[in-house]
């Protein structure tokens, strides 16, 4: 059910603290539809599809979720919306809660009055109709993503901040300058964000074009070099206010290889990232390799693990030559996850 004006943390059948049921908070969401996103890669890219079926996304909602995400220009992942719906209601369009939240996206009435709209054009904006509720959820999350990108100093990625704003109210994100800490409200929002982010990969469809299994593919580090700047180190030199990946300090011209098999979705200039390559892997996640001096692959190309994709360099926003690597749940900036944890899950020793 969400802990704020018109916001709840989930239906009562889900793991939620009773603290939220006693909170009656009148807030004003600190956001507007014309918020502009923050810095980073602004490339027009299509994010990964959804895992559909039992234990994943119900087929009747998949296209609604994908369209709601694709209508957002702030890097909103379909799997993020799906994981949010799963946490909110278990994809139940008739879900309710003692706090008054309603429908598949668990809007409280006054928030629905402000954010809900008649997406299917039947003349009625209904919180109980997924054809209205899911697009309304997507539009609200898109606003929150844009607001999040305007605050690079806040703790958490734009996806995490948007989830926290949807759950507790954006004013709480402002109050804590990031995702509310674990000790606040018995961890309601903290755990809401953590659970949803953990479920995003589970709801992302595998890439059938990358048939080679991870166990046989020999996942490895993209370059043999010591680790440099770690993930989420804070600093003013990054547009997000923190480091969104990991660095490998290597001389210009060092061979860079893909960490795992997949399909190249982007290869070329990436703004502050300089020359970059983004690869979609078989689990629907993406790896990014940035600041390259030259590229040896192109968009649409299928590649094997360990295949050369370019040479290291110092293009883009850098203080010296190195490889910058990110793992994302969509191709877009602001959807990063911990790259070391991901690589270790694929058997890489690092």
Could you give the residue numbers annotated as active site? 88
How far, in Å, CA of 102 to CA of 113, rounded?
12
Bin 306: left if φ > 0, else alpha if -120 < ψ < 50, else beta: left
Give how far the C-alpha of residue 277 lies from the chain's centroid of Cα atoms, to the nearest Å: 19
Question: Which of 217, 221, 237 has the alpha carbon at shortest distance from 229?
Answer: 237
CA 4 from chain center: how many Å? Answer: 22
Q: Are the C-beta atoms of residues 134 and 61 closer than 8 Å to each other?
A: yes
Instruction: Rounding to the nearest 10 degrees, give the CA dihedral for residues 18, 22, 27, 32.
Output: 30
DSSP label at residue 47: P
Asked if 342 contacts 204 with a C-beta cutoff of 8 angstroms, the reply is no
For the record, the structure tokens of 159 come out as: 């996806």
Q: 331 Cβ partners below 8 Å, 6+ apart?
A: 43, 45, 46, 47, 265, 266, 278, 280, 286
Cβ contact 136:116 at 8 Å? yes
Q: Which residues of 312-325 are buried (b: 16+ CB within 10 A; e: fewer)?
A: bbebbebeebbbbb
CA 237, chain centre distance (Å): 22
Task: Give the separation between CA 196 and CA 108, rounded to whole angstroms.
Answer: 20
Residue that is written with structure tokens 């004006």 in the block? 5
Closest CA to 288 of 264, 317, 322: 264
Whole-number Cα distances in Å, 37 to 20, 44, 144, 151, 160: 31, 14, 10, 10, 15
């Amino acid at each position: 059910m969400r802990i704020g004006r018109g916001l709840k943390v989930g239906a009562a059948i889900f793991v939620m603290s009773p603290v939220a049921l006693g909170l009656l908070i009148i807030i004003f969401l600190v956001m507007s539809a014309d918020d502009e996103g923050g810095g980073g890669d602004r490339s027009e890219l299509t994010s990964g599809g959804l895992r559909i079926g039992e234990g994943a996304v119900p087929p009747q909602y998949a296209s609604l979720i994908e369209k709601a995400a694709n209508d957002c220009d702030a890097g909103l992942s379909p799997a993020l919306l799906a994981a949010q719906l799963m946490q909110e209601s278990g994809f139940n369009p008739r879900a309710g809660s003692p706090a008054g939240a309603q429908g598949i996206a668990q809007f409280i009435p006054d928030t629905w009055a402000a954010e809900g709209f008649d997406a299917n054009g039947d003349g009625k904006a209904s919180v109980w109709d997924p054809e209205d509720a899911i697009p309304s959820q997507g539009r609200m999350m898109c606003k929150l993503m844009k607001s999040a990108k305007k605050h690079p100093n806040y703790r958490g990625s734009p996806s995490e901040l948007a989830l926290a704003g949807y759950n507790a109210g954006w004013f709480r994100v402002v109050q804590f300058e990031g995702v509310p800490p674990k000790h606040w409200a018995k961890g309601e929002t903290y755990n809401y964000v953590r659970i949803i982010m953990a479920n995003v990969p589970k709801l992302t469809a595998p890439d059938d074009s990358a048939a080679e299994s991870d166990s046989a593919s020999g996942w490895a580090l993209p370059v043999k070099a010591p680790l440099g700047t770690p993930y989420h180190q804070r600093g003013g030199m990054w547009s997000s206010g923190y480091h969104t990946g990991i660095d490998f300090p290597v001389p210009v011209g060092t061979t860079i290889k893909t960490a795992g098999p997949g399909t190249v979705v982007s290869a070329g200039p990436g703004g502050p990232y300089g020359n970059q390559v983004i690869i979609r892997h078989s689990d629907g996640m993406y790896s990014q390799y940035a600041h390259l001096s030259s590229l040896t692959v192109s968009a649409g190309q299928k590649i094997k693990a360990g295949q050369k994709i370019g040479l290291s360099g110092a293009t883009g926003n850098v203080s010296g030559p190195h490889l910058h690597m990110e793992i994302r749940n969509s191709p877009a900036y602001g959807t990063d996850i911990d790259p070391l944890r991901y690589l270790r899950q694929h058997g890489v020793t690092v």
